[in-house]
Structure 1
Amino acid sequence: MNKNAVFLGAAILLGLVAALLSVSYVRERVEEATAAARVVVAEAQVVVAAHDVAVGETVTEEDLVTRSVPTDFIPADAVTVEDYGQYLGRMARAPIKSGAPLSASALVPLYNQFSRVVVPGKVGYTLSVNENNSLSGMISPGDSVDILLTYEADEESAGPAADQGERVVPLLENVIVLATGSRVGEALPGQDNVAFSSITLELDPDQAERLTVGQKTGDLRVLLRNIEDRTPFGLDGLTEKALMSTFGGLGIDDVEYIIGGGK
């Protein structure tokens, strides 16, 4: 027999065997993948938020729906279909995303121990406000605010003339409003414009110290920001004279004084 023909036949035979083995391997992998896809994921019926719920909002039956959720994604304190009724009318102390299982720890009773609304490690601080500082009553529980401090900078501590006079500095940034007056959740029908003379803020202890000193030092101005905005403003403070200098140097005394001397 021709040796070349023998080698060619052997090569063809080995190729066919390899092809059959490859097909068999691929078929086994497909069958394994198909079997894995048939594995039933354990699910359970829980209560989820029908839409996003912001901090300070009270939860009603219209805000909740039931959904089957894989057990691996259900929190230990999830609100179930059987016990959801006891959580109606409670206030959200943390944002709840639409479709997320409702956690019992995220809801607190409105008038049963207000301290439960305060995050551990922080404090509630009540600040008196007027018509301007309450933005005409437009601040609501769950809003984020910033606070500016205006005070009179004396000549010794201020330094250059541009730094002297009335000064405005950022005191606190991005703090949460827990309550406006005695309102800690959504306003009841017909109470949208209820007046209030104080707001309760959630602060770190050192922020509470700064605010206490700031109240004694000068005037405070409360600024309202978008509830989803967490951007630091990076303000350094501004004086009256520095502001006026931007309009042509009207705020700075440019007269040069020569003191002392003699013959």
Structure 2
Amino acid sequence: MKPAPFVYHAPRDLGEAIEALAEAGAHGKVLAGGQSLIPLLNMRLAAPEQLIDINRIEALEPFGIEGAGVRVGALARHSQVERSAEVARAQPLLRQALKLVAHPVIRNRGTVVGSLVHADPAAELPAVLALLDGSVRLARVDVVRDVPAGEFFTGPLESALEPGELAVSAYFPALPERTGTAFAEVARRHGDYALAGVAALVGLDDDLRVAVAKVACVGVGHVPITADVSEECEHRPASTVDWAGVARAVQDRTEPEADIHATAEYRRHLVGVLAVRALTEAARNAA
């Protein structure tokens, strides 16, 4: 199939892009990596009247360390961020998650910010942003706002991005010392969307006891499901924590639905298995 007709814009600076978006309003779509948008256009599941291609805006390309975290511009590709040693040192969960995103050919073109804006609850990066309490920076004419992850994802394929706004970057906070992360998921085939996935974060105190334990779950809710399970760890040394018991607490907070790929109960079972795996690995990385 071919997309419905649209007016094509190719702005070369951020101001021009924002003006084009303001003019288009609810009838405009932004093209960055296009790995989600182009298939939707071709199948006519999306039919914007105007398409704003931001790929020529150099100001949106940079990514790297900013303050106590990582700032990723709207045109930073998955593979670029994945390969960055600087980013991996500051926030290893980004590399751990990006390795699981689709296939290399997709990661070479797709963008980190684009994945966040697409807001697919089965995708890895929304869960990463939610677990880390990150934020997305949105810009429109004369207004720039940072929206925290807890407010950004509003439903399946829905975000706080308003008509006329452009997502210009995302911010992923770094973690304190003795904090480890991990990402585990199960898919029917390598590169497919996960049937279920769990991103985990474990922080240890000076005595190597678990002070913080959090997870974000993929594919078992309308938005990324986050759970703070620090209390369930009972401030015990990581090697003595009943991670299976902690995983059951995670399962209780999920809202899986059945589809053609898996039943709700199977997804909930996977969350338990993956939570044990991710939390154990995160605790090991913390130590």
Fold shared by both chains (TM-score > 0.5): no
Q: Which has the higher helix share?
A: 2
TM-score by length of 2: 0.26
- When Rg is computed on C-alpha atoms for both structures, the one with the higher figure is 1
